[in-house]
Chain A
Amino acid sequence: MANQNHVRIERLGGFAGFGQPGSHLKSKGEILTSDLSDADLSALDSLFDGDLSKDEPLPDSFRYRITRKSGSSEQTIEVSEHNVPLSLKNAVKDTLE
């Protein structure tokens, strides 16, 4: 299971192109692993441990860059929207910078 740490989430892409170079659209958030349900925590572990080579994005769907700290190391993955638990998706806030 994941440590009781922060998980940073950034939403990218979509029709509007969130987070791309020069884009004024950002979508970021954080969530504590202690705030995740057992099911979502398990799903998160599986995303970090799983094979993402077949994780193909759909046109205009979002991608999520998820970073979690495990011990002294930090791990980051990028996954398609349809693979991300709803609680993590709901943790981001869209902003205009």
Chain B
Amino acid sequence: MSCTCFIVPSDVLERLAADPELAADLRRTALETATISDQIRKVRDEANALTGVTMALGLAPATVALAPVVTVFDCKHQQTLPGTPVPNPGSSNDSTAERTFKETTAVAKFYKDVFNRNSIDDAGMTMLSSMHFGLDYNNAMWNGSQMIYGDGDNKIFIDFTKADDVVGHELTHGVTQHTLQLIYSGDAGGLNESMSDCFGSMFRQWRANQDVNQADWLIGHDIMGPVATSKGFDCLRDMANPAAAHCLAPQPTKYSQITPGMDPHYSSGPPNLAFYLACKKVGGLSWEKVGQIWYRVLITAGPSPNMTMSAFAKKTRQLAISMFEPEPTVAAGVDHAWQQVGL
């Protein structure tokens, strides 16, 4: 049996391991995979549970490092995680490894400098990334404990590490896991995705030192492959105009368009647009005022796995008033933005 690397349910693997009709090597591999998969699941579940318990008790996790260690692993086009460690990734001959290291390090600096956050968990957690995941893999993701990047098929998409907003997006899923702990469905799922787009876009703007008028507000612009660009697509999503025809995956612009069961990448349209509109109304640098309000909701609301978009909007309105009391235009801008999307 080749290394199939996916996490099949334990009961399936255990059944295969005990199936007398299967060859001995198949049964042995199934048993080994069951054991490893079970341990991975336990680690993930325990990590999530520990995060929840410490937050519920108001305990801050012990700081493991003053700044996070950034590590990069090479999956070598397989789907085994984390893959082989890349020594000295910052000076690697593999441009993807070097880029993954530098972009991840930059995201850590962004969170530290702008939000005074020490890594994903605010306690110096190691930032682990696996690159070259799968073959022609058109995706990047956060699996609960690390980032994963595919190389793209070089037709629709190119290497997913080439977009700084993508790296910022994935790492922010980790930050959300360690703060609001939003689930990945319903309103909370759309908010979860929107947090990643908002902070991913802010990271992109911060790196380029762009104000809200200079920013392109596009998600995934730098990973468009030749087939996508030849057809006139220049991004996955456009926070300034979620329904635009130039997006590969256009989104709704009003909360009233969201229905149960929608994919979070679709339902994140209205909160994405609200963030953009608030930033434009307030002006300046997105991360200095509106970004600070959004971040404050993340770190002060406590675990809120089922938070609604309405509840999130309400908290940003309250914080806009309390955080920027001498500047009522900030609260007015935030209020106006949410009203425009129907919240």
- The residues of A with any CB-CB pair to B shorter than 8 Å are 12-25, 27, 38-39, 42-43, 46-47, 50, 56-62, 81-86, 89, 94-96
Q: Mark B232-256, 1 if CB is under 8 A from A, else 0.
A: 0100110000010000111100000
Q: Contact between A16 and B8 (Cβ–Cβ < 8 Å)?
A: no
Given contacts A39-B26, A46-B12, contact A24 B141 (CB under 8 A): no
Q: Name the contact of B6 in the complex, choosing from A19, A22, A57, A81 (C-beta under 8 A).
A: A81
Determine if B144 is an interface residue (Cβ-Cβ < 8 Å). yes
Q: Contact between B248 and A25 (Cβ–Cβ < 8 Å)?
A: yes
Q: In the complex, how many residue pairs between chain A and chain B have their CB atoms under 8 Å apart? A: 139
What separation, in Å, do the CA atoms of A22 and B246 have in the docked complex?
12
A-contacting residues, B136-178, CB 8 Å: 138-144, 153, 156-157, 160, 166, 169-170, 173, 176-177
Q: Contact between B142 and A60 (Cβ–Cβ < 8 Å)?
A: yes
- B41: nearest residue on chain A (CB-CB)? A82
- A62: nearest residue on chain B (CB-CB)? B139
Q: Contact between A58 and B156 (Cβ–Cβ < 8 Å)?
A: no
Interface centre among A17, A19, A96 (most CB of B within 10 A): A17
Q: Name the contact of A16 in the complex, choosing from B79, B177, B236 (C-beta under 8 A).
A: B236
What separation, in Å, do the CA atoms of A5 and B59 have in the docked complex?
55
Determine if B196 is an interface residue (Cβ-Cβ < 8 Å). yes
The stretch among B14-22, B92-100, B291-299, B315-323 that forms the contact with chain A is B14-22
Task: State how many angstroms separate the Cβ of A44 from the closest Cβ of chain B.
Answer: 9
Interface centre among B166, B173, B249 (most CB of A within 10 A): B249
Q: Name the contact of B4 in the complex, choosing from A13, A24, A27, A85 (C-beta under 8 A).
A: A85
Q: Contact between B263 and A60 (Cβ–Cβ < 8 Å)?
A: no
- Kindly list 15 other residue pairs between chains A and B, CB separation below 8 angstroms, not including A15-B140, A59-B173: A15-B170, A17-B249, A20-B263, A22-B243, A25-B248, A39-B26, A42-B16, A46-B12, A47-B9, A58-B141, A60-B140, A82-B7, A85-B4, A95-B156, A96-B227
Q: Contact between A86 and B4 (Cβ–Cβ < 8 Å)?
A: yes
Given contacts A14-B141, A59-B196, contact A86 B22 (CB under 8 A): no
Q: Name the contact of B266 in the complex, choosing from A15, A21, A39 (C-beta under 8 A).
A: A21
- B265: nearest residue on chain A (CB-CB)? A17
Complex contacts, A25 vs chain B, CB 8 Å: 156, 248-249
Q: Contact between B6 and A17 (Cβ–Cβ < 8 Å)?
A: no
Complex contacts, B265 vs chain A, CB 8 Å: 13-17, 20
Interface centre among B30, B227, B233, B263 (most CB of A within 10 A): B263
Q: Contact between B173 and A60 (Cβ–Cβ < 8 Å)?
A: yes
Task: State how many angstroms separate the Cβ of A58 from the closest Cβ of chain B.
Answer: 5
Complex contacts, B233 vs chain A, CB 8 Å: 24, 96
Given contacts A60-B173, A89-B6, contact A16 B143 (CB under 8 A): no
- A21: nearest residue on chain B (CB-CB)? B266
Complex contacts, B166 vs chain A, CB 8 Å: 15
Complex contacts, B236 vs chain A, CB 8 Å: 15-17
Q: Name the contact of B248 in the complex, choosing from A21, A24, A84 (C-beta under 8 A).
A: A24
What separation, in Å, do the CA atoms of A61 and B266 have in the docked complex?
14
Given contacts A15-B160, A17-B236, A17-B266, contact A60 B22 (CB under 8 A): no
Interface centre among A15, A56, A59 (most CB of B within 10 A): A15
Q: Contact between B8 and A22 (Cβ–Cβ < 8 Å)?
A: no
Q: Contact between B266 and A20 (Cβ–Cβ < 8 Å)?
A: yes
